[in-house]
Structures are given as C-alpha cells and as structure tokens.
C-alpha cells in the first residue's frame, strides 16, 4: 500500500442469507414503484431536503473518484420560466422536424410533446452538469475519466433518493441542451447532462401504463 494514500477499515452489517434475500426482494419491489412523472404540483419542498437528495447523488462511484458533476439547484421563478421558454423552443423544433419518424413513434406511448409545463410548475429544477475536465488554480486542464458513466450513476442515485423521500422526478433531456449553459452561466468545462424537475405529483397526475422487461430479457447467464 502506498504510504501517501492511507486506507481505513471497512465493515458492514452481516445479514443472514434469508435477510439478504428479503432485502433484495423488498428493495426491488419498492424500486419498481418509481415512475417518471410529468405532472407536478407546485407544493413547497424545503431546500434542506433537496440538498440531502443531491448529496446522495454525489455519493455515487466515479471513475478515479473524480466526481465529475455539478448539481444546479433552481427555484428562482424567473429563471424557471426562462428555462421553460428556451426548452420549449428547442423541443418545438425537435418535435416538428428534427426528430426522426421512428423517434416520434417511440415517444407516442409516453404522450409527450413540446410543451414542458413542469419546468415552471415543479418547485425545484435540478440540472446535472457533467464536468468534461477540471481546471486547477494555475489554469491547467486536469482529466476526468468515464464522465458520462460517472454522472449517469450520480443521476441514478439522485433519482432513487427522490423516490425514497416520497417525491417524484422526471429525467428530462431537452435537445439540444446548450441553452442551459448560457442561461445558468456555467463554466466552459461543464456540459448540461439532465434537467430534472423534483416535487410532488399533481393531484390529477397520470403516468403511461408501461411494462418493464422481464428477467429472461434482462439477464444472460454464464454460470
Ligand atoms: C436519458 C433519459 C432521457 C429522458 N428524456 C426524457 C425527456 O426528455 N422527456 C420525458 O418526458 N421523459 C424523458 N425520459 C423519461 C423516460 O421516458 C422514462 O424513464 C421511461 O419512459 C420509463 O418510464 P419510468 O421512468 O416511469 O419507468 C428520459 C429518461 C432517460 C433515462
């Protein structure tokens, strides 16, 4: 072991085989109840809750522990309205010519269109930025590795934290997303990754009746 990089012992609770199986089943059953929600209430969510959810996201593994993400936490009404306007402009163009017929058809069951009311209505918008590289105090560029994979994991952890808290979110990718960097005045080394409204579902919220792939289509066994 390298002297300059100390290690600490890692222990965790020991469960019986039965308890492990039960944990796995219960967690899966609970995870299966997560849905992407597109109809939000404007009900308040405290900033401290959002900070906890984000820090859960930031606990994700990352390549070489570079943690190549920034979470922008937005509640400012004017900024949300601006983001909605800009997202809708891009989405309008996407739905009216930029997306392929196949893509439009794939989206049909979700009932989505260019309207993005949720950006205005949800109490919080979290924009996850991926950091392509870091810049040190002298202005030198420092590499990050497997940035998309790492930020994807952070986003996944964040979404599960939202679900666990009893809130809902939507993984949204208004395309292209360059307008976000400008609107939020983000530095050159960051690129928008996901726009995620977070809050409570609207009273009349509905979600598409989707089914998920079954085990035989998910797992290939090599035993
Ligand atoms: C990378 C990614 C991008 C997505 N982009 C959008 C989007 O722009 N708009 C939207 O309404 N849903 C978007 N979704 C949500 C998916 O449509 C949703 O996850 C999928 O239909 C499955 O539904 P569920 O999340 O309720 O299980 C996105 C999801 C992912 C993972």
The pLDDT assigned to 1 comes to: 55
Give the Å distance between the CA of 110 and the centre of ligand 1: 9
Label each residue of the chain as H, E or C: CCCCCCCCCCCCCCCCHHHHHHHHHHHHHHHCCCCECCCECCCCCCHHHHHHHHHHHCCCCCHHHCCCEEEEEECCHHHHHHHHHHHHHHHHHHHHHHCCHHHHHHHHHHCCCCCCCHHHHCCEEEEEEEECEEECCCCCEEECCCHHHHHHHHHHHHHHHHHHHCCEECCECCCCCHHHHHHCCCCCCEEEEEEEEEECECCCCCCCCCCCCCHHHHCCCCC
Give the Å distance between the CA of 38 and the centre of ligand 1: 10
Pocket test for ligand 1, best of 30, 35, 36 (most atoms within 8 A of CB): 36
The pLDDT assigned to 5 comes to: 87
Give the Å distance between the CA of 163 and the centre of ligand 1: 15
Question: Percent of the chain at pLDDT above 90?
Answer: 97
Q: Which residue has the tokens 């109809």?
A: 39
Phi, psi values for residue 156, rounded to 5°: -65, -45
User: Does domain 37-202 correspond to CATH entry 3.40.109.10?
Assistant: yes
Provide the mean pLDDT of the chain. 97
Q: Which atom, in ligand 1's list, is nearest to the CA of 37?
A: 26
CB count within 10 Å of CB 82 equals 15
Query: Ligand 1, atom 28: nearest CA belongs to which residue?
Result: 171
Structure tokens at 68: 């190549």
Q: Which atom, in ligand 1's list, is nearest to the CA of 173?
A: 8
Strands ordered across the beta sheet of 124-131: 69-74, 124-131, 190-199, 168-169
Q: Which protein residues are within 6 Å of ligand 1, measured from CB?
A: 35-36, 38, 110, 112, 170-173, 207, 210
User: Closest Cα partner for 179 from 115, 93, 88, 86?
Assistant: 86
The pLDDT assigned to 138 comes to: 97
Going from N- to C-terminal start, the domains of the chain cover 37-202
Residues constituting the chain: 223
Per-residue pLDDT reduced to its tens digit, 54-69: 999 999 999 999 999 9
The pLDDT assigned to 2 comes to: 56
Per-residue pLDDT reduced to its tens digit, 161-208: 999 999 999 999 998 999 999 999 999 999 999 999 999 999 999 999
Q: Alpha-carbon distance 104 to 98, whole Å?
A: 10
Whether 31 shows a pLDDT value over 70: the answer reads yes
Whether 139 shows a pLDDT value over 90: the answer reads yes
Question: Percent of the chain at pLDDT above 70?
Answer: 99
Q: Which atom, in ligand 1's list, is nearest to the CA of 174?
A: 8
Whether 83 shows a pLDDT value over 60: the answer reads yes
The pLDDT assigned to 4 comes to: 83
Whether 3 shows a pLDDT value over 80: the answer reads no
Give the Å distance between the CA of 172 and the centre of ligand 1: 6
Q: Alpha-carbon distance 69 to 221, whole Å?
A: 34
Pocket test for ligand 1, best of 171, 174, 193, 207 (most atoms within 8 A of CB): 171
């Amino acid at each position: 072991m390298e002297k300059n990089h100390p290690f600490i012992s890692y222990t965790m609770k020991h469960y019986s085989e039965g308890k492990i199986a039960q944990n796995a089943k219960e967690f899966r059953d609970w995870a299966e109840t997560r849905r992407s929600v597109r109809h939000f209430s404007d009900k308040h969510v405290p900033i401290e809750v959002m900070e906890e959810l984000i820090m859960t996201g930031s606990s994700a593994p990352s390549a070489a522990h570079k943690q190549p993400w920034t979470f922008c936490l937005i509640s400012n009404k004017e900024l949300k309205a601006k983001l909605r306007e800009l997202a809708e402009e891009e989405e309008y163009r996407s739905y009216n010519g930029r997306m392929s017929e196949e893509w439009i058809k794939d989206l049909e069951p979700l009932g989505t269109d260019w309207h993005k009311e949720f950006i205005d209505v949800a109490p919080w918008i979290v924009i996850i930025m991926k950091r392509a590289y870091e810049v040190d105090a002298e202005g030198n560029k420092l590499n990050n590795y497997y940035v998309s994979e790492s930020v994807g994991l952070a986003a996944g952890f964040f979404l599960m934290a939202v679900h666990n808290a009893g809130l809902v979110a939507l993984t949204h990718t208004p395309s292209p997303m360059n307008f976000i960097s400008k609107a939020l005045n983000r530095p050159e080394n960051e690129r928008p990754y996901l726009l995620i409204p977070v809050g409570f579902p609207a009273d009349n919220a509905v979600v598409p009746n989707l089914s998920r792939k079954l085990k035989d289509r998910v797992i290939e066994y090599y035993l």
